[in-house]
Structure 1
Amino acid sequence: MWLDLLVQSGNLATDLLERTSSTLRVQEIVRLSLAPAFLLAAIGAIMNVIMARLIWIANRIDRLEERMDEEHTARERRELKRLKRRRRYAQRAVTFATAAALTISLVIMLLFISAFIKPQIGTLTAIAWIATMLLLILGLVMFAAETVIATGGQTREGRDEGS
């Protein structure tokens, strides 16, 4: 389909070939896309940490809920409630981080497209970059909230056991 469109409009095909034949232009776009690509890798690393915590939380919830037939102690009920809160925050962190990864991928795509089309899409690229940063910040805030709940619960449990 695209090939047919390019063949039918020889001028468009020629323009596209001229724009993409410049090695220097392609090299420049690759250079410009390195920062977003490194950010994408960093988001992946952050998501790996969050997912590891989320898996641990889910496994702990499963172990506690498996014992639902038995009577839960007040401490176990508190822990289960805290774990479910942590899971919600971790899930939100993953959702926001995934959205940030998608939008930074969009930024990379827009950078390449902008080199080969005449309409200026710098504003669209900037909006996608800003959206990425907002989503990443929200994901990190959710992750920070999860860690605060985790450390706060351990501190309380230590006091409960000590009294």
Structure 2
Amino acid sequence: MLLDLIASGTHTPFVFEIFERTASTPRVQQVVQLSLAPAFLLSGIGAIMNVIMSRMIWIAQRVEKIEDKLEEERSPKQVRELGWLMRRRKLMQGAILFSTAAAVMISAVIMLLFISAYITAQIGTVIAALWVLTMALLVTGLVFFLLETRLAAIGAVEKP
């Protein structure tokens, strides 16, 4: 499409402006360098979510195993364990929700960093606000994860 615009000769000032802005290798290098920190954060969020999902899968499998039994066949211990697992599952769902939202926000930050290099509008405040929002979402997700691990540790000691 961009090549079609160049070939047609229409909108050439716009096309040449885009090429001029994107032709600067140092500018592209600078944007890539600026996006490394958010990219590493995105990688870290992915690793955290991998751990969260592993725990969530274990919880779901344990709940399924207990729920496969008829209610009359469940022991009092299994009934207590089911309630404990349901509380853990809710906490893990919160951790997944907020961690995923943090990953989406940091992806938006990376995208806006690249866009900001090629537009004249100053969007640094928007990028900074999204960075702060990302951190708030990530901290919230980690708090949910912390609460779940505490609940798991307490439950393991009490043996539901």
5 Å matches for 1:1-163?
Answer: 8-157=10-159
Deviation at 1:71, TM superposition (A): 2.6
Which amino acid letter does the alignment assign opposite residue 9 of structure 1? H
Distance 2:140 2:134 in 1: 10
Kept after mapping to 1: 8 A contact 2:102/2:137: yes
Which stretches in structure 1 are left out of the alignment for 5+ residues?
none
Q: 1:102 to 1:2 in 2, by over 3 A?
A: farther
- d(CA) in 1 for partners of 2:125 and 2:26? 24
Q: Report the TM-score when normalising by structure 2.
A: 0.92
Query: How well do the aligned residues superpose, as a CA RMSD in angstroms?
Result: 1.7
In 2, distance between residues paired with 1:4 and 1:95? 43
Give secondary structure in 2 for the equivalent of 1:130.
Answer: helix
Report the AA paired with residue 147 of structure 2.
A
- Deviation, 1:13, is 1.4
TM-score normalised by structure 1 residue count: 0.91
Give how far 1:39 is off: 0.3
Name stretches of at least 5 consecutive residues in structure 2 with no aligned partner. none
Higher helix share: 1
CA distance in 1, matches of 2:2, 2:79: 60
Q: Which amino acid aligns with 2:98?
A: F
Q: Distance in 1 between matches of 2:140 and 2:98?
A: 6
CA distance in 2, matches of 1:73, 1:101: 41
Moved over 4 A (4+): 1-7
CA deviations on 1:117-150 (whole Å, 9 max, x unpaired) are: 0000101101111111011001000101111110
Distance 1:34 1:146, change over 3 A: same
Question: How far did 1:90 drift?
Answer: 0.5
Deviation per CA, 1:25-66, whole angstroms, max 9, x where unpaired? 000000000000000000000000000000000000000011
Q: Which amino acid is the alignment partner of residue 148 of structure 1?
A: R
Percent identity for Structure 1 against Structure 2: 53
